[in-house]
């Protein structure tokens, strides 16, 4: 069944129930909403901007989008880019594209104009729908993207090089277009994070998307009464595929713009959220704000909050121990996945396995997992190897890149590039990215293990460990450490703390600085290497 059928089902079954809520605490004045079917919650200029739509309106908006695109020549197999910040328009546009039989092509909102052009060209994009935050970037390339025949703008004050999407869509039919879709039809192109160079275009079909929805509900048990708080960007598979749990259950989701602890807690309380997906830094910030007395839990309604889960990065066990001490009734899960495996869930811990915090878990619903050596033979339990996954959510290919596809796909298996090991109980632990392993004096050092250890220090907010070139050992370890704002810490303190590590794992270099992360929570290690791996810096600063 194509993923669009779930939206049709919800519109019929839950017609007048709220599907999506948008909250933007940074906006205190109402702007005009030109789609009359939106329910706009009128508030004073000192209150938070909030609006919502029902499942029936959601579906109508998707149909209007589809009919507009088809009236302008978009057909099955075409590609339509989405360059929008999170908001009520995002998902109806996504599903409108799918209803035409075209492929949705979500774009990272941090892309520069040249990166936007690169991705549009790579995906053979025929049209793009963009928002006001991107006018400048789109204007730079509007005349240099010849394959893109249609440029639609979502917002007020439409630029001259684009067409007013909201106005045009409102004047098209809200009836579903008659386009036959199957599980095998191509559905979307996502882009890799680009942390190792230019992004690759990842092609998925409708079966992949549907499997992701089933996995999410199977793992987290969403019902029509749940309320999911969605904070990360919808262009990424992580946020979207966790939201698919709301789609398959017909339940409400809240799109929150902002990651401040008070903002998150207020949204949980006001909207009666039951499920919240956090990144590690956000969870740490909430706990730290509680510890400092900036958040008084008695001022918030949290009794309905049943599940906190984390993905996109290794989770330090110390963080979850702190979380459970504050929120003892919460279920907890961690989810592992890649855009190539249609986002989270091919491996997950499981809410019943909190005693194994630190592991990424066991194979997800409908997934198989292996850990293999350099020849792709399965290693023995306890040995480190590359994690490989197999299931209905594996991508079809890297679009127009058969060489890169052949490197990671074989016999239905996706070779993830992540190094992992399995314990005696069958739980998988992520050791590190294959490309991030540091080889120092012939010894393999896995940065994630050192990062997890350092995060157990109560003064440390975040940490990244990278390899720096060394003429004698080949590489040495450097720890970039971000200290909590209210704390003070010295290099000598960190060195003393690290004496609990084996000598070869102790960082040779300690750097106090911010740890950059991309919007999906992954540490931007290429950026750190670029900053700290210059020969002059290494020569001047590395301790022998």
- Give the span between the Cα atoms of 491 and 509, in whole angstroms: 9
Averaged pLDDT for residues 66-94:
97
156 located within any domain: yes
CB 98 within 8 A of CB 104: yes
CA 54, CA 60: separation in Å to the nearest integer? 10
Report the CATH number that the domain containing residue 484 is assigned in CATH: 3.30.300.30
- The residues facing 524 across adjacent strands are none
Residue 89 lies in a domain: yes
Residue 70 lies in a domain: yes
The answer to whether position 31 is within a domain reads yes
Q: How confident is the model at residue 408 (pLDDT cuts 50, 70, 90)?
A: very high
Q: What is the pLDDT of residue 489?
A: 93
- Domain CATH number, residue 53: 3.40.50.12780
Q: Is residue 237 part of a domain?
A: no
Task: Dump the DSSP string for 55-95.
Answer: HHHHHHHHHHHHHHHHHTT--TT-EEEEE--SSTTHHHHHH
Using pLDDT thresholds of 50, 70 and 90, give the confidence band for residue 400. Answer: very high
Q: Per the domain annotation, does 508 fall within a domain?
A: yes
Is residue 105 in a domain?
Answer: yes
Beta carbons within 10 angstroms of residue 167's beta carbon: 12
Q: Which of 201, 217, 233 is the last residue of a domain?
A: 217
Percent of the chain at pLDDT exceeding 90:
69
Whether 510 shows a pLDDT value over 60: the answer reads yes
User: In the predicted model, what is the mean pLDDT of residues 348-358?
Assistant: 92
Query: Average pLDDT in the 49-67 region?
Result: 97
| Strands 397-398 and 201-205, bridge-based pairing | antiparallel
pLDDT at 437 over 80: no
Residue-range definition of the domain harbouring residue 80 = 4-217
Task: Write down the pLDDT at residue 404.
Answer: 93
Q: What are phi and psi for residue 223, nearest 5 degrees?
A: -125, 175
Calpha distance 24→51 (Å, rounded)? 9
Closest CA to 252 of 496, 17, 498, 529: 17
DSSP 348-395: E--GGGGGGBTB-BEEPTT-EEEEE-TTSPBPPTT--EEEEEESTTS-
In a domain, 354, yes or no: no
Last residue of a domain, one of 217, 246, 267: 217
Three-class secondary structure of residue 244 per DSSP: helix
Q: How confident is the model at residue 318 (pLDDT cuts 50, 70, 90)?
A: confident
Query: What's the maximum distance between 2 C-alpha atoms anywhere in the chain?
Result: 71
Of 83-97, 115-129, 259-273, 441-455, which range is least confident?
Answer: 441-455
Whether 541 has a pLDDT exceeding 60, the answer reads no
Judged against a pLDDT cut of 70, whether residue 252 lies above it is answered with yes
Q: Which of 199, 217, 235 represents a domain boundary (last residue)?
A: 217
Predicted confidence band of residue 441 (pLDDT cuts 50, 70, 90): low
Higher pLDDT, 57 or 34: 57
Domain count, the chain: 2
pLDDT at 314 over 90: no
């Amino acid at each position: 069944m194509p993923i669009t059928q779930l939206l049709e089902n919800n519109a019929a079954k839950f017609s007048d129930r709220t599907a999506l809520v948008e909250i933007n605490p940074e906006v205190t004045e109402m702007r005009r909403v030109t789609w009359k079917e939106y329910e706009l919650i009128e508030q004073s200029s000192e209150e938070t901007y909030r609006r919502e739509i029902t499942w029936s309106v959601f579906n109508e908006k998707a149909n209007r989008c589809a009919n507009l695109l088809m009236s302008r020549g978009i057909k099955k197999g075409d590609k339509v880019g989405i360059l929008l910040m999170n908001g009520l328009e995002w998902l109806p546009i996504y599903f409108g594209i799918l209803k035409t039989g075209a492929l949705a092509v979500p774009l990272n909102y941090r892309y520069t104009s040249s990166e936007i052009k690169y991705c549009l060209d790579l995906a053979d994009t025929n049209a793009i729908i963009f928002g006001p935050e991107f006018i400048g970037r789109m204007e730079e390339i509007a005349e240099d993207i010849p394959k893109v025949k249609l440029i639609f703008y979502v917002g007020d004050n439409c630029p001259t090089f684009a067409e007013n999407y909201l106005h045009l869509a409102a004047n098209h039919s809200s009836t579903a277009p008659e386009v036959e879709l199957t599980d095998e039809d191509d559905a979307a192109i996502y882009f890799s994070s680009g942390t190792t160079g230019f992004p690759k275009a990842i092609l998925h079909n409708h079966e992949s998307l549907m499997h992701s929805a089933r996995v999410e509900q199977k793992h987290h048990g969403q019902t029509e009464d749940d309320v999911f708080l969605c904070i990360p960007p919808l262009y990424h598979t992580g946020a979207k595929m966790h939201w698919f749990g709301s789609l398959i259950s017909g339940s409400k989701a809240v799109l929150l713009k902002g990651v401040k602890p008070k903002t998150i807690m207020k949204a949980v309380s006001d909207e009666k959220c039951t499920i919240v997906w956090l990144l590690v830094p956000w969870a740490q910030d909430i706990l730290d704000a509680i510890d400092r007395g900036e958040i008084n839990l008695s001022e918030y309604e949290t009794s309905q909050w049943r599940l906190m889960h984390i993905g996109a990065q290794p989770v330090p066990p110390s963080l979850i121990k702190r979380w459970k001490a504050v929120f003892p009734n919460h279920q907890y899960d961690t989810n592992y996945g890649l855009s190539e495996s249609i986002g989270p869930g091919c491996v997950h811990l499981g809410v019943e396995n909190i005693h194994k915090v630190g592991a990424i878990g066991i194979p997800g619903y409908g997934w198989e997992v292996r850990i293999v050596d350099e020849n792709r033979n399965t290693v023995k339990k306890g040995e480190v190897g590359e994690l490989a996954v197999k299931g209905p959510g594996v991508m079809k290919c890297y679009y127009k890149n058969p060489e890169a596809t052949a490197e990671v796909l074989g016999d239905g298996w996706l070779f993830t590039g992540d190094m992992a090991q399995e314990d005696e109980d069958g739980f998988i632990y992520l050791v590190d990215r294959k490309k991030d392993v540091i080889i120092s004096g012939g010894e393999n050092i896995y940065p994630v293990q050192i990062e997890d250890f350092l995060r157990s220090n109560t003064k440390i907010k975040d940490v990244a460990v990278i390899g720096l070139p060394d003429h004698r050992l080949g590489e040495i370890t450097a720890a970039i450490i971000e200290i909590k704002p209210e704390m003070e810490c010295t290099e000598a303190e960190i060195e003393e703390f690290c004496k609990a590590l084996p000598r070869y794992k102790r960082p040779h270099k300690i750097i106090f600085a911010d740890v950059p992360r991309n919007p999906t929570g992954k540490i931007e290690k290429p950026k750190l290497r670029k900053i700290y791996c210059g020969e002059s810096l290494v020569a001047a600063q590395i301790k022998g």
